[in-house]
Structure 1
Amino acid sequence: MSSISLIKYAVTALYQYYGIPLLVFGCIGNVFNLSIFVRSQLKKNPCSTYFFCSSIANLNVIFFGLLSRILSDGFGIDPSSYNLEYCRFRYFILHSSMVLSSWFTILATVDRYCVSSKSARRRQLSSLKTSRFLVCSTTAIVFILYSHVWGLFTIEQLKTGPSCYADAGFYRVFYDFFYFATFSFTPPVMMMIVGLGTFYNVHQSHTRVNPTDTNARKLDQLKKRDRQLIKMLLVQVTFTISLTLPLAIQKLYSTFTQNFVKSTYQQAVETLVTQVVRLLAFTNNSISFYL
């Protein structure tokens, strides 16, 4: 077997032996998340609203992203390569859901930052009314921002066969940078900044407490449930940054080198790397329940 054939087999094997279990565990985990965050004890917590909506977005990513990739790269079944309407619908739902999942996590991080703040005014920003408004407005904004997918995605004939993606030329360069900005770069940076602020607030809440003053301790310490959500969120933010940044790097590399002359072997290697970082990104949408 030649090196190129071996690489192509590796891509197929990745989706068959890693993608399928990831699909199963991702679906189960996100469904369990939905059932957890609608419980009476948690559904009144604003942070739970963001986690609930993030789980819905994750399921969209799993079905329209991971499942589609398993069928196309693992078994050679790809409806988006010959049906233009489905091509545009799939990428609109997939990319907007990936972006929404990340931004809902950012909103959850901001909510925990407000809850952990010593400022009463900031703590008041954490409310069910605020969380519902932000979820609806964020969803509407993302859908509007990605609406151009409906008219400017196309099925392109490549050497390897038909492929659905952004129209070649200026729009493709624009879209890669647009997707990079809204998903691969800005969310991880914001998560890191706000996450560090939340960690600092939690640390300060420990140092502010006077152990001899019971009433002050009760007023100053965060609720146990809030602390658990903060810990869970900080772990999720760490994994999100680690699993999505490789895709950002790959997107930039692909955009800057798209006009370079590359050997068949180099193209095969880059395809393998692309599939690996995509699977890492899909992993981010599948593991929140298990963290």
Structure 2
Amino acid sequence: MLAGYAVDLTNTIDWLCKFRIYVLMVSRTIALWLIALASIDRWLLSSANQQYRKMSSLKNAYSSMLIVIIFSMMLYAQLIYCYQANLTQTPLKCYGKTEICRMTTDFSYAVITVVIPIIVMIIFGLLTISNVKNSRRRIFTKTVTQISTNGHNQLQRWRKTDYYLLLMLLVQTVLYCFFTLPQAVQKIYSTMTESHIKSSLQNAIENLAFNILLLLTYLSSGIPFYIYTLCGGKIFRQTLIDVFKRISQRRT
């Protein structure tokens, strides 16, 4: 399905097959883990503990990014050996050549690339929202006696912002689960039932499901932008508009 519009050389050339799958899996792992690390960084910045806030620095961010990149490259190093072109009886011609290779890759993808980053996003996203609420509650308690009307309006704005933060977290988590988890589960199922006798109809259905779920995983890379602009409230949309205005002013 992915290569239906032209000849896909990765299906027939071995080194291209290995190179594409390695770059794909490594980049996808890096992308999801960087988003997970960003949620941890937001939690550190919103913490009332000064020591935690100090941990949120560019130096630590660069170090974390480097660790994630190196870890992702090492995690899928076996793909250079495992994947092979011109295979038959597999969902794709460029696929893992042995059952052990497929199980290793499938479980690594399901657990390390998909499940753990999503859990990290949920946990630290909720902790960030809790920190924001606690900090605003402290500020509001100190100022409400001085400015009653403005304090009430400020509280309403904070509640609205909290709603958008929670909505963004919920939508982001649900969409990531929807776009990535089904393919991980399907890959594990396909590998575990490989030795079972299946009819041609069942094989066709499983191959179709594999290709559809594979396409969904590519959508997960572009959803953060739409989540922030559509579910993030006025502040994110206004920031986007300001960026476009600055670009247009530079051109003129």
Q: TM-score, normalised by structure 2?
A: 0.74
Query: Which letter maps to 1:152?
Result: C
Q: Which residue of 2 aligns with 1:239?
A: 175
Aligned to 2:116: 186
* Cα deviation, residue 282, structure 1: 0.8
Alignment partner, residue 96 of structure 1: 26
How far apart are the structure 2 equivalents of 1:180 and 1:161? 18
Q: Note closer, same or farther for the CA distance 1:198–1:212 as it changes in structure 2 (3 Å cut).
A: closer
Distance change in 2, residues 1:237/1:250 (3 Å): same
Q: Is the aligned partner of 1:274 residue 2:214?
A: no
**Matches of 2:42 and 2:65, distance apart in 1:** 15
Alpha-carbon shift at residue 143 of structure 1 (Å): 0.9
In the alignment, what sits opposite 1:136? 66
- State, as a whole percentage, how many aligned pairs show the same letter: 30
Give 5+ residue unaligned stretches, structure 1. 1-11, 13-68, 218-223
Answer whether contact 2:91 2:210 (CA < 8 A) is retained.
no
Largest Rg, 1 or 2: 2
In the alignment, the residues of structure 1 paired with residue 42 and residue 62 of structure 2 have an alpha-carbon distance, to the nearest angstrom, of 15
Match of 2:9 in 1: 79
Which residue type is aligned with residue 126 of structure 2? L
Q: Report the secondary structure of 2:94's partner residue.
A: strand
* Alpha-carbon distance, 1:204 to partner: 2.2
Which residue in 2 is equivalent to 1:200? 130
Picking from 60, 65, 82, the partner of 1:152 is 82
- Do residues 249 (structure 1) and 188 (structure 2) align? no
How far off its partner does 1:260 sit? 1.5
Displacement, 1:110? 0.4
Structure 1 residue 160: deviation in Å?
7.9
Question: For the structure 1 residues 242 and 115, does the alpha-carbon distance in structure 2 shift closer, same or farther, using more than 3 Å as the test?
Answer: farther
| 1:95 partner letter | M
Q: 1:81 Cα shift? A: 1.0
Higher relative contact order, structure no. (Cα contacts within 8 Å, ≥ 6 residues apart): 1
Inter-partner Cα distance in structure 1 for 2:90 and 2:115: 30
- Could you tell me which amino acid in structure 2 is paired with residue 246 of structure 1? P
For residues 6-65 of structure 1, what are the alpha-carbon distances to aligned partners after superposition, in whole Å with 9 as ceiling and x for unaligned?
A: xxxxxx5xxxxxxxxxxxxxxxxxxxxxxxxxxxxxxxxxxxxxxxxxxxxxxxxxxxxx
- Partner in structure 2 of residue 125 of structure 1: 55
SS at match of 1:75: coil
- Residues 152 and 79 of structure 1: CA distance in aligned 2, closer, same or farther (over 3 Å): same
- In 2: Cα distance, 1:241 partner to 1:169 partner: 26
Aligned to 2:93: 163
Provide the rounded CA distance (Å) in 1 between the counterparts of 2:65 and 2:178.
Answer: 25
Match of 2:148 in 1: none
Give RMSD over aligned pairs.
Answer: 2.9
Contact 2:82 2:98 in 1 (8 A): no
Any idea what the Cα deviations from partners look like across 1:105-142, whole Å, max 9, x if unmatched? 11001001111112111111111111111111211121
When the two structures are aligned, how many residues end up with a matched partner? 212
Alpha-carbon spacing, 1:208–1:252, altered in 2? closer, same or farther (3 Å): farther
Match of residue 172 from structure 1: 102
* 161-170 or 89-98, larger mean C-alpha shift: 161-170
| Kept in 2: contact 1:109–1:195 (CA 8 A) | yes
Structure 1 residues 144 and 279 mapped into 2: Cα distance closer, same or farther (>3 Å)? Answer: same
Instruction: Report the secondary structure of 1:253's partner residue.
Output: helix
Structure 1 residue 280 displacement after superposition: 1.8
Distance in 2 (alpha carbons) for counterparts of 1:161 and 1:96: 21
Q: Is the 8 A contact 2:17 2:84 kept in 1?
A: yes
What's 1:29 paired with?
none
CA contact (8 A) 1:188 1:245 kept: no
Question: TM-score with structure 1 length normalisation?
Answer: 0.65
SS of residue paired to 2:196: coil
